[in-house]
Chain A
Amino acid sequence: MSERWRLLQTGFNNAFMNMAIDKAILHANSKGFIPPTVRFYGWKPPAISIGYFQSLEEEVDIDACKRFGVDYVRRITGGGAVFHEHELTYSIVIPESHPEIPKNIMDSYGRICGALMKGLKHLGIESEYVPINDIVVKGKKISGNAQTRKMQRVLQHGTILLDVDVDKMFSLLRVPNEKIKDKLIADVKERVTSIKHVLGKTIAFNVVVEAMKKGFEEEFQVELIDGELTLEEKKLAKKFEKEIFSNREWNHRR
């Protein structure tokens, strides 16, 4: 019988709660309360997340975010700024010692991205993993991923773009030089794609979730069993939302 992991579908939450839930799962898993967990989620309102090492003011046009009703949050993972709007986000939390997880960080990115690639294949999309942390379709990025390792656990989260609005994205992210903004936008349009662009039609969030679920089950030879956040995780998530992710000091720390 294959190993059973927990599947969480937490729906749409704000940026602070989304990041708090991932961190809460990490903490709970490190205490041994819960099995390896795969989570699928969305963002409401839309939000920008920035990497742990990024400077908020350098990357994000805060006034524009306020005008558009877009939240912003600093992640506990490194990597770049992401505009979360029309996408499916996943996270996986698993012990570093799990036999399915390579010790080498780069190898483990590849392995987890393998699950997403299998998921995309179920939607009829052939994709490729491009180190460090991207999945591309015909050379264009469709998924970005970021991993941290804490408390002997691996947390990786990432996005699968359902659709993309590069113009809106660039009105929220800062560019180093306004004069070359148009060229930058044109470049990014050349380098980024989405499920809708590849297939020429909109695929519903839940359909993509089902495909990704199968992708994880196949890649790791496990069964994902529908579950819920435990009471302990919910408590932790509320605490992290309040004390960390919605906290100005955290978000503006760099």
Chain B
Amino acid sequence: MQSKSVYKVPNGKLLKIFLDYNEKNDSINTIRITGDFFAYPEEAIEIIENELKGEVLDKRKLAEKINKIVTKQGIKFIGLDAEGLAEGIVLCKHE
């Protein structure tokens, strides 16, 4: 199932997420994270997108996973944070 969300991160930037997910188990097939935020190093966004494949669309779990990647890769976000990103991702889910 292909889906998209537009989410203004509180005190941050506008996030637009393009998601393809498995409706049967709510897991991520592919994800593209776009928007006018900043992330250092920039290329890290592709690492996040790859590592989120297979993850379940659960806000808390996604935020934990993203925080782990951020710590491991030494990523700095500006205008975005793990919780905001997780929120944007679960907003793609069709009820």
Which residues of A does B touch, CB under 8 Å?
51-55, 58, 76-81, 105-106, 132-133, 146-150, 176, 254
B32 touches A55 (CB 8 A): yes
- The residue of chain B having its C-beta at the shortest distance from the C-beta of A148 within the complex is B42
Residue B36 at the chain A interface, CB threshold 8 Å: yes
In the complex, whether B1 has a CB less than 8 A from a CB of chain A is: no
What residues on B are CB-neighbors of A55 within 8 Å?
Answer: 16, 18, 32, 34
In the complex, A148→B78 CA distance in Å?
Answer: 11
Question: How many CB-defined contacts (below 8 Å) exist between A and B?
Answer: 54
Task: Tell me, rounded to whole Å, the shortest Cβ–Cβ distance linking B76 to chain A.
Answer: 7
Are A79 and B40 in contact (CB-based, < 8 A)?
no
Given known pairs A132-B79, A148-B42, the reply for A78 and B36 (CB within 8 Å) is yes
Q: How far is the CA of A54 from the CA of B39 in the complex (A)?
A: 12
- The chain A residue with its CB closest to the CB of B78 is A132
Residues of A near B6 (CB, < 8 A) are: 176
Whether the Cβ atoms of B36 and A106 lie closer than 8 Å is: no
A58 and B36 form a contact (CB under 8 A)? no
B38/A147 in contact, CB under 8 A: yes
B63 at the interface (CB under 8 A from A): no
Is the beta-carbon distance between A53 and B78 smaller than 8 angstroms? no
B18 A53 Cβ-Cβ under 8 A: no
Q: B41–A78 contact, CB under 8 A?
A: no
Q: Are the C-beta atoms of A254 and B32 separated by less than 8 Å?
A: yes
Which residues from chain B sit less than 8 Å from chain A, CB to CB? 6, 13, 16, 18, 32-42, 45, 76, 78-79
Q: B38 — which chain A residues lie within 8 A by C-beta?
A: 77-79, 105, 132-133, 146-147
Residues of B within 8 A of A79 (CB): 36, 38
Bound CA span A79–B78, Å: 10
- Structural contact, A58 and B40, CB atoms closer than 8 A: no
Contacts of B16 in A (CB 8 A): 55, 58
Rounded to whole Å, the gap between the CB of A10 and the closest CB of chain B is 24
Residues of B within 8 A of A147 (CB): 38
Shortest CB-to-CB span from A44 to chain B, Å, is 25
Known: A78-B37, A148-B42. 16 other contacts (CB 8 A): A53-B33, A53-B35, A53-B37, A53-B42, A54-B35, A55-B16, A77-B42, A78-B39, A78-B78, A105-B38, A105-B76, A105-B78, A106-B78, A150-B41, A254-B32, A254-B34
Closest 8 CB pairs of A and B: A80-B36, A78-B38, A55-B34, A52-B42, A51-B36, A254-B34, A132-B79, A53-B34
Q: Which residue of A lies closest to B77 (CB)?
A: A78
Compute how far the CA of A80 lies from the CA of B79 in the bound complex, rounded to whole angstroms: 11
Please indicate the chain B residues that have their CB under 8 angstroms from the CB of A176 in the complex: 6
* Residues of B close to A132: CB separation below 8 A: 13, 38, 78-79
Chain B residue nearest to A131 (CB atoms) is B78
Task: Indicate which residue in A53, A58, A81 contacts B39 across the interface (CB closer than 8 Å).
Answer: A53
Q: Nearest-CB distance from B66 to chain A (Å)?
A: 15
Chain B proximity of A76: nearest CB distance (Å) = 7
Residues of B within 8 A of A80 (CB): 13, 36
Instruction: Give chain B nearest CB distance to A19 CB in angstroms.
Output: 14
B36 pairs with A54, CB closer than 8 A: yes
Q: Which residues of A contact B35 (CB under 8 A)?
A: 51, 53-54
Measured between beta carbons, the chain A residues less than 8 angstroms from B37 are: 53, 78
